[in-house]
């Protein structure tokens, strides 16, 4: 048809000219005009060009594109049956949601969140993963966005991805979003939400990849500090203590901080950590070449020795006092 042919020519001309030859406002308006097209190729070219502009490392024109009216079009593309168009639109919206609070809010107000949650059920893993990225950016902007995503069912969808067949990079992104859900305070998430995530975290802290481990261990550290009884009831402590022996320093440090939050509590909580074998690895941590780990280990043991007589004796019997004294020779 004549109209489609003209639109395709305009799209081609726009790409050939390049946006360096147009003012940002003019470029944004032309993109929006073409993104409204009924012709699939013209629309795809415009949405792809939008994504490229927003992916720029140097001053992406987020505000210009928002003001030009691109958001409703990108949200509409999330409902497309074309997975490539969905992905391009999702990536563009992810970049918008990674901007300022106001830019994230604009994406939310355009209706993107329900469609992103729906895309978590897409048969295309690329589309699913981009939806995870977008939702993580949105959740990270505050408890009201977090609670809105929870109301739309994000928790149930994310938990489905904690599975052996999920690709590693995808799983890393999922754990990052789960931590965003957990660790935003003022107010914190509900007890029910935290409880629903704990079984998944118990699985994730057995993962072989340290990048996957870091986020759930960090989340557990936060939970032990704020919801200690919930963690005790989940029986996850026995899986956390062995991470004190992990070869990655970051994992070791976070695990030590997490179990350290246990031993600032009652004698019963201290004993729980001791029963899991924490003292058996303390000699290695006290002699660790990283000073920060030495400090965390001494802080941990100082809280143990503030416990009852049997717990103090356990530290002595483990032969740790001479190692603590030897640290006094360091600056």
Residue 23 has pLDDT above 60, yes or no: no
pLDDT at position 108 is 97
Q: Which residue has the tokens 């003012």?
A: 23
Q: What is the pTM of this model?
A: 0.80
Residue range 48-65: mean pLDDT, rounded: 88
Can you give the pLDDT at residue 311?
95
Q: Mean pLDDT, to the nearest integer, of 194-223? A: 83
Range 121-129 average pLDDT: 95
Give residue-wise pLDDT tens across range 279-296.
999 999 999 999 999 999
| Cβ-contact 246, 255 below 8 angstroms | yes
CA distances for 205 relative to 19, 183, 238, angstroms: 47, 17, 11
Of 47-61, 170-184, 272-286, which has the strongest mean pLDDT? 272-286
Given a contact cutoff of 8 angstroms between Cβ atoms, the answer to whether 23 and 60 are in contact is: no
pLDDT recorded at residue 15? 41
Q: What is the pLDDT of residue 320?
A: 95
**Tokens linked to 225:** 């500090």
In the predicted structure, residue 331 carries a pLDDT above the cut 80? no
The answer to whether 270 and 310 have CB atoms below 8 angstroms apart is no
**Looking at residue 120, what is its pLDDT?**
97
pLDDT higher at 48 or 16: 48
Indicate the pLDDT class of residue 8, thresholds 50, 70 and 90.
very low
pLDDT value, residue 45: 93
Of 25-39, 160-174, 181-195, highest mean pLDDT = 160-174
Taking the C-alpha atoms of residue 142 and residue 56, their distance in angstroms, rounded to an integer, is 25
Mean pLDDT value of segment 230-250: 87
């Amino acid at each position: 048809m004549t109209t489609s042919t003209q639109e395709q020519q305009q799209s081609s001309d726009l790409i050939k000219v390049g946006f360096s030859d147009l003012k940002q406002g003019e470029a944004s308006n032309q993109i929006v005009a073409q993104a409204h097209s009924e012709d699939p190729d013209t629309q795809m070219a415009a949405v792809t060009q939008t994504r490229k502009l927003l992916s720029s490392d140097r001053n992406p024109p987020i505000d210009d594109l928002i003001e030009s009216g691109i958001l409703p079009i990108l949200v509409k593309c999330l409902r497309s049956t074309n997975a490539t168009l969905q992905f391009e639109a999702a990536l563009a919206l992810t970049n918008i949601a990674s901007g300022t609070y106001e830019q994230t809010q604009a994406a939310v107000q355009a209706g993107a969140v329900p469609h992103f949650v729906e895309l978590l059920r897409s048969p295309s893993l690329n589309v699913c993963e981009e939806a995870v990225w977008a939702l993580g950016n949105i959740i990270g902007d505050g408890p009201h966005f977090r609670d809105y995503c929870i109301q739309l069912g994000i928790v149930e969808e994310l938990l489905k991805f904690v599975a052996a067949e999920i690709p590693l990079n995808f799983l890393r992104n999922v754990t990052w979003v789960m931590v965003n859900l957990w660790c935003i305070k003022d107010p914190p998430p509900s007890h029910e939400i935290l409880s629903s995530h704990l079984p998944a975290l118990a699985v994730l802290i057995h993962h072989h990849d340290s990048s996957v481990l870091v986020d759930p261990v960090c989340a557990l550290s936060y939970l032990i500090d704020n919801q200690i009884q919930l963690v005790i009831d989940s029986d996850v402590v026995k899986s956390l203590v062995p991470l004190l022996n992990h070869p990655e320093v970051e994992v070791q440090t976070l695990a030590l901080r997490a179990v350290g939050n246990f031993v600032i509590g009652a004698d019963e909580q201290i004993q729980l950590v001791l029963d899991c074998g924490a003292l058996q690895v303390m000699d290695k941590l006290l002699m660790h070449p990283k000073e920060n780990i030495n400090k965390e280990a001494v802080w941990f043991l100082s809280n143990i020795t503030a416990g009852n007589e049997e717990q103090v004796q356990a530290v002595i019997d483990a032969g740790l006092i001479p190692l603590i004294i030897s640290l006094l020779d360091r600056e």
